[in-house]
Amino acid sequence: MWLKVIFVVIVGLFLYRLFGGKIPFIDKSETSKEDEHDFGKIEATSECAVCGTYMTENDALIYQKKSYCSNDCLEKIK
Ligand SMILES: [Zn+2]
C-alpha cells in the first residue's frame, strides 16, 4: 500500500517538473549555474582604428584584421 503511494508521489513530481514546475530543493543547483552563466556574459570591446571609438565586437566592422566603428571610418582608410 505505502509503496504504491510513494510511487504515485514520485510520478506526480516527475510530471510536475516535466511541465515546467520548479522544486526549490532539487532545482537550486541548476538555477545557480544559470546565474554564473549570466555573469560571464561580458562582451569584448574593440577600438576603431580610425577615430578611436570603443564598441562591442558584435558592432565592429572587421576589415583586414582591424576593427572599425562604421562604414564612414572604413571608407577613410581605403
Ligand atoms: Zn570610427
Cα 37 to ligand 1 centre (Å): 31
Residue owning grid cell 522544486: 23
pLDDT digit string, tens, across residues 4-39: 999 999 888 888 888 787 766 666 655 555 555 555
Cα 60 to ligand 1 centre (Å): 9
Cα 73 to ligand 1 centre (Å): 5
pLDDT digit string, tens, across residues 68-77: 999 999 999 8
Predicted TM-score of the model (pTM): 0.45
Rounded CA-CA distance 31/24 in Å is 10
Spacing of C-alpha 9 from chain mean position: 34
Cα 19 to ligand 1 centre (Å): 49
Cα 43 to ligand 1 centre (Å): 19
